Amino acid sequence: DDKDNVLDLSDPYSKDPPRHPILKVNSSKPFNAEPPPEILTESYITPNEIFFKRNHLPVPDINPDEFQLTVERPNGQNEKVPLKLSLNDLKTKFPRHEVIATLQCAGNRRSEMNAVKQVKGLDWGTAAISNARWAGVRLRDVLLQAGYTEEASKGLHVHFEGLDQDLTGTKYGASISFQRAMNEKNEVLLAYEMNGEPLPKDHGFPLRVIVPGVVGARNVKWLGRIQVCTEESPSHWQQNDYKGFNPSTDWDTVDFKSAPAIQELPVQSAITEPKPGQTVTPDSDGKVTVQGYAWSGDGREIVRVDVSFDGGKTWHVAELFGEKQKQGQSWAWKLWKLEATLPTEDKEVTIICKAVDSSYNVQPDTVAPIWNLRGVLNNAWHRVHISVNRD
Amino acid sequence: DDKDNVLDLSDPYSKDPPRHPILKVNSSKPFNAEPPPEILTESYITPNEIFFKRNHLPVPDINPDEFQLTVERPNGQNEKVPLKLSLNDLKTKFPRHEVIATLQCAGNRRSEMNAVKQVKGLDWGTAAISNARWAGVRLRDVLLQAGYTEEASKGLHVHFEGLDQDLTGTKYGASISFQRAMNEKNEVLLAYEMNGEPLPKDHGFPLRVIVPGVVGARNVKWLGRIQVCTEESPSHWQQNDYKGFNPSTDWDTVDFKSAPAIQELPVQSAITEPKPGQTVTPDSDGKVTVQGYAWSGDGREIVRVDVSFDGGKTWHVAELFGEKQKQGQSWAWKLWKLEATLPTEDKEVTIICKAVDSSYNVQPDTVAPIWNLRGVLNNAWHRVHISVNRD
Ligand SMILES: [Mo]
Ligand SMILES: [Mo]
C-alpha cells in the first residue's frame, strides 16, 4: 500500500494501460498517439488498439463495481439528492443505443501548421481521427430521468466532468449545449462500449460521452459528473483552449473570450496512401492508387472527394466507401480510393485531395490563412509529395 | 379581353410589375436583377424595392381574394379532399410567425466564375443576396392541419409548386426534406409579408415559402400547392440544376444524379465598399474603410470576418453588425466594417475578405478549384482591386 502511494506520487501516469507498439507517440505523459495513416484506412471501423489516443491527464484507475455517475438535479427539484447511476443502472434501466461515429482531435494535421509557423500543441500528423461503433444510453434519457424537460430554457449547457485530474485535483471538463444534448437526432451518448467491447482504459473506461459530429475535446472520457448550467463549462479546455483565431492573432493579443468554443468541426479529408516521400511504381496500365478518409462535422455527409495530380488544375472524383447513415446524421467518415493515370511523365508529383460535404462546404486551398496560435482546425487541402518510378 | 389574350400570348411577361431603376438587370424576361453592392450594406434589413429579384418564369397575376393554397393529404386520410386555404384562412386560423432571414441565390458571385472560364447562367455580381423580415405561418402548422404527424417517416420530402409557369404549363417547383419542414427550430414559413408589407409581386405575392438558411431556389414564390412525397421534387430545378460538380466536370460528362440538390449554403462574405477599380483617398489618419456582408447557411452564425491588404499575409478582424439571433438559428447575415491603415505605400491594392462561421467553416482561397459548369456556390475569398490616392 505504501509502495503504491509512493509510485503514484512520483509518477501519476503509473496506472496508464499498455499500448500497441505501432502507435506513433506524440506525448507519453499524458499519452497522445496516432496510428500510421495507411493502417487507418484499412478498415471502416478503427480497431480499438489503433484508435488515436488523446489524453489530457493521467488515466484514472476506476473500479467498475464502485463507479457511480452523478447527475445534478434541476433547480428546486430535490437538488440535494443528485441522481446516482451505477454502471449496472445504466446498462439495465435505460434503452441501449448504438451509433457509428468518427472522432477527430481539433489538432489533427497540426504538423502542417507547424510547417508554416510554430504553434503550441502536440505535433499531430493526419491520423488524430478514427471511427468506431459506440454503445451506451442516450444522454437525453438520463437528463429526463434526472428531472430535466424538453421545455427547459434554450440557452443552457450540459457540463461533463471527467474523473481524470491533475496533481492539484483539477479535473478535465467540457460542455455542449442543452439543445444538442436533448435533440434525439444528435444521438448524444453516454457510452460504455466501443466496437463491442467495454470501453478500453485509454478511451474512458467505464463511461464516456460521445457527441457525434463534435470535436473530440467535448467527448469527455472517464465521465464522473453531469451538471446543467446557464453558462458553458468554466474549464480551461472550454474557455481558454480549443478555439480558433485568425493568423495575425498571437499570444500577446489573443482574447479567448472573443471566439466560440469549437463544437461541430468543418469538412476534412486527407491522403493516407501513398505516404509523403514514397516512391510509387505505376501498375501495368500506368495507374496509381490513392486512398484516404473524408469527414465533416454535425452529421453532414461527404458527397464528393476530388483528387488532383497537377496542382489543382484538373480534378478526379474518388470512389467513396462506408455505411449509409441517415440524412443529417452522417456521423461517420467515408473512406475513399482513386485509381488514375498520372497526367505527366514527371518524376515528382504532388497529390492533392479536397472534400465536399452535403452543405457544399469545401476545404480551403492552403494552411497559412487558417493558421492559428493553437494549431487547431487545419482542414486545408491535403498535399502529399511522391516520387514516381518510371523504370 | 381579346386584347389581353393577344398581349399575353405575344409577351407572357406583360403582367410583370414595375421595378426600381437602380437595379442592375441581368435578364429582363424572366426578370433577374441585383442592387448596387454599396447600397446593399447601407441597411441590415434590405428594402423590398432593392432586394435582389430572381424569377425563373413570368410573374403570375394572382387575385388575392380568389387565391387558394392546396395542401395534399397524407395517404389514406381523406386523400380526395385536399386542404384548401385562402389567404384569410392563413392569416386568421394559424399563429403568425416572424423571422429575419437572408436569402441568397446559388448563382451569387457567378461573374467571378465566368472570369475563370465561361459558365451557363445569369452573370450575377456580389449582390444576389438580401435580408428581410418575413411574416406568415409555420409550414409545420399547416402540415399538421393537413394530417401529417411528427412521426411520419424520416425520408419524406415536401414539394412546393409555384403558380408561375412557362408557355407549356410547366410550373416552377422545388422540395425540402420533411424533417426540415417539421422541426420547429428551422422556422420554415409560408410568408405573406415582407418587411411589414404584403409580399411584393416580384417576391411571390400573395404567398411564398421561406426556408431560412437554404438556397433561394427552394424558397418557392407564388406558392400554389404543397405535397409530401417519398422522393424529391421531380422539377428541373431540383433534379437537373442547382447542384455542384467538380471543375473537371463538363456538359458532356455531367451526371446530375451524382450530386445532391443544393439546400443549406456554405459560409460566404463579400466586400461592398470600396468598389472594384475605385480610387480611394485615405483619411487624415491614413486609414481606409472597408465594408461588406457575411452569411452562412443552416442557421450558423458568422463569428469572424478577416480582411487583408497584402494578399493574405496579414489579416485584420472586422467589426460585425446585426441582430443577435438564437444559437443555431442565425438566419440573417452580419454586415461588417473595418477601418485600417494600409500596410504599404503601394498605389494599387487588392483587398481580400473571408468569413468564419460558428462551425468554423471557412471560405476557400480561390475560385478556380470550386468552379463548376453551372457557376453556383462561389464562396471563395472576395477580392477587390483599388487604386490609392496618395496626394
Ligand atoms: Mo483534441
Ligand atoms: Mo437561384
A85-105: pLDDT as tens digits: 999 999 999 999 999 999 999
pLDDT given at position B351: 98
Name the one residue in this structure whose C-alpha cell is 504532388. Answer: A350
Tell me whether residues A369 and B264 touch, CB distance under 8 A: no
* pLDDT averaged over every residue in chain A: 95
Please report residues of A whose CB lies closer than 8 A to that of B230. Answer: none
Q: Which of A182, A242, A362 to mutate to test the interface with B (most CBs of B within 10 A)?
A: A362
pLDDT given at position A87: 98
* pLDDT beyond 60 at B5: no
Q: What is the DSSP letter of B224?
A: E
Question: Which sign does the torsion angle of CA B154, B155, B156, B161 carry?
Answer: positive
Least Cα distance to B17 among B222, B219, B173 occurs for B222
* pLDDT beyond 80 at A4: no
- Give the ligand at the shortest distance from the Cα of A214: 1
List beta partners, residue B33.
B25, B53
* pLDDT averaged over every residue in chain B: 95
* pLDDT beyond 90 at B390: no
| Better-predicted residue by pLDDT, B365 or B121 | B365
Tell me whether residues A179 and B265 touch, CB distance under 8 A: no
- A319-323, A379-383, B6-10, B65-69: least confident range: B6-10
Residue A18's CB is within 10 A of a number of other CB atoms, namely: 8
Report the C-alpha gap between B172 and B161 in whole angstroms.
6
A-B Cβ pairs (cutoff 8 Å, strict): 102
* Minimal Cβ distance to B364: which of A179, A259, A363: A363
pLDDT given at position A155: 87
B146 Cα to the center of ligand 1, angstroms: 47
Nearest CA in chain A to B305: A246
Confirm if B130 and B40 have CB atoms less than 8 A apart.
yes
A317-341: pLDDT as tens digits: 999 999 999 989 999 999 999 999 9
> How many angstroms separate the Cα of A391 from the Cα of each of A345, A384, A388, B232?
11, 22, 9, 52
Least Cα distance to B111 among B382, B364, B391 occurs for B382
| Better-predicted residue by pLDDT, B207 or A8 | B207
B266-275: pLDDT as tens digits: 999 999 999 9
Tell me, what's the ipTM? Answer: 0.93
pLDDT band at residue A285 using 50, 70 and 90 as cut-offs: confident
| Better-predicted residue by pLDDT, A132 or A344 | A132
B268-302: pLDDT as tens digits: 999 999 999 999 999 988 899 999 999 999 999 99
B57-82: pLDDT as tens digits: 999 999 999 999 999 999 877 778 99
All 3 cell numbers of residue B81?
Answer: 379532399
What are the start-end ranges of the E strands in A331-381?
334-341, 348-357
* pLDDT beyond 50 at B2: no
* pLDDT beyond 50 at B233: yes
Backbone angles phi, psi at B337, to 5 degrees: -150, 145
Contact residues for B95 (Cβ-Cβ < 8 A; gap 6+): B137, B138, B141
pLDDT given at position B1: 42
pLDDT given at position A3: 47
* Distance of alpha carbon A295 from the chain centroid: 11
- A72-76, B36-40, B99-103: least confident range: A72-76
B15-70: pLDDT as tens digits: 999 999 999 999 999 999 999 999 999 999 999 999 999 999 999 999 999 999 99
* Minimal Cβ distance to A365: which of B303, B316, B364: B364
Report the C-alpha gap between B22 and B28 in whole angstroms.
14
A106-164: pLDDT as tens digits: 999 999 999 999 998 899 999 999 999 999 999 999 999 999 998 776 789 999 999 99
pLDDT band at residue A9 using 50, 70 and 90 as cut-offs: low
Host H or E run for residue A38: helix A37-40
What are the b/e assignments for A96-133, b being 16+ CB within 10 Å? ebebbbbbbbbbbbbbbbbebeebebbebbbbbbbbbb
pLDDT given at position B391: 76
- State the amino acid at position A59 in one-letter form: V
Report the C-alpha gap between B214 and B103 in whole angstroms.
8
A38-55: pLDDT as tens digits: 999 999 999 999 999 999
pLDDT given at position B9: 58
Confirm if B205 and B199 have CB atoms less than 8 A apart.
yes
pLDDT given at position A2: 46
pLDDT given at position B3: 47
Report the C-alpha gap between B110 and B107 in whole angstroms.
5
pLDDT given at position A1: 42
Least Cα distance to A184 among A228, A140, A149, A136 occurs for A140
Report the C-alpha gap between B83 and B74 in whole angstroms.
11
Report the C-alpha gap between B309 and B274 in whole angstroms.
13
B106 Cα to the center of ligand 2, angstroms: 5
B335-373: pLDDT as tens digits: 999 999 998 889 999 999 999 999 999 999 999 999 999
User: The pTM is what?
Assistant: 0.94
Tell me whether residues A316 and B248 touch, CB distance under 8 A: yes
A8 Cα to the center of ligand 1, angstroms: 26
Question: Could you give the 3-state DSSP secondary structure of residue A191?
Answer: strand
All 3 cell numbers of residue B111?
Answer: 461573374
pLDDT given at position B345: 87
